[in-house]
Amino acid sequence: MAKLYFHYASMNAGKSALLLQADFNYRERGMATMRWTSALDIRAGGGGIESRIGLAAPAWRFDADTDIGAAIAAEQAAGPLACVLVDEAQFLTPAQVWQLARVVDELGVPVLCYGLRTDYRGELFAGAGALLGIADTLVELKAVCHCGRKATMNLRVGDAGDDAAPVIGGNERYVALCRRHFVEARGA
C-alpha cells in the first residue's frame, strides 16, 4: 500500500543522503523512480540532488508553478514508477503536497519527501506544514547540536541579504542547534 512520507530534520541530518540511498535501493532492483528537488537549490549546478557527503543524482526541478502531479502521472503512463522522492520538500506549496497525496491515493505510487520543518526563524515552511498535516508517515531524523542535544533549529549565519528571502546553503549558511542554543544565538 502506497503512502506519503515526510522525513524531516534540521540541517546536517543527512536528508539528501538518505533520499539518494533509498533511490539507489529501488534502482538497484530494476525499479523506476522519479527524483525531484526545488528549483531554488542550485548547489549541485542546478541539475540535481547532492548530499554533503558527495552522493549526487540528477532530478526534476519544481517551483511554485510546477504541476508535480501531472508530471508524475505522465511518467507513470510511460512506464511504472516504484517511488517518487522529493528533496527540499519544505519549498513545496500546499497545493503541490495535495498533488503528491493524489499520486499516492490514485496512482498507488509511494512518495518520500525529505526537508526542513522550520526556517531560520523557527517558523514552519508552508510545504512542511502541509506535509505534517496530511502525510501518512512522519519520520524525524536526528542532527546534533554542539552541546550534544538534538538539533531541531537552523540558525542562519553570515550576511544573507534580504531577511525574508530563502537562502539555500549548507554549513557556510546555517548551523543546526538545539532550541536553547538557537534562542541564545538569536538573542531572543
Where residue 24 falls among pLDDT bands split at 50, 70, 90?
very high
In a domain, 81, yes or no: yes
In a domain, 175, yes or no: no
In a domain, 168, yes or no: no
Examine the residue annotation and report whether 140 is marked as an active-site residue of this protein.
no
Cβ contact 56:35 at 8 Å: no
The per-residue pLDDT for range 71-110, each reduced to its tens digit, is 999 999 999 999 999 999 999 999 999 999 999 999 999 9
In a domain, 187, yes or no: no
In a domain, 188, yes or no: no
User: pTM score, two decimals?
Assistant: 0.91
In a domain, 165, yes or no: no
What is the mean pLDDT of the segment spanning 154-183?
75
Distance CA(144)–CA(152), nearest Å, equals 8
**Catalytic one of 28, 75, 88, 172:** 88
Number of domains observed in the structure of the chain: 1
Structural domain that includes position 135: 4-142
Where residue 2 falls among pLDDT bands split at 50, 70, 90?
very high
Single out the residue of 61, 52, 111 nearest to residue 91, CA to CA. Answer: 61
Cβ contact 152:179 at 8 Å: yes
In a domain, 88, yes or no: yes
- How many separate helices (H) and strands (E) can be counted in the chain? 5, 12
Higher pLDDT, 42 or 184: 184
150: exposed, middle or buried (Cβ count in 10 Å: 0-12, 13-18, 19+): middle
Cβ contact 22:112 at 8 Å: yes
Distance CA(25)–CA(36), nearest Å, equals 17
Domain with residue 98: its CATH number is: 3.40.50.300
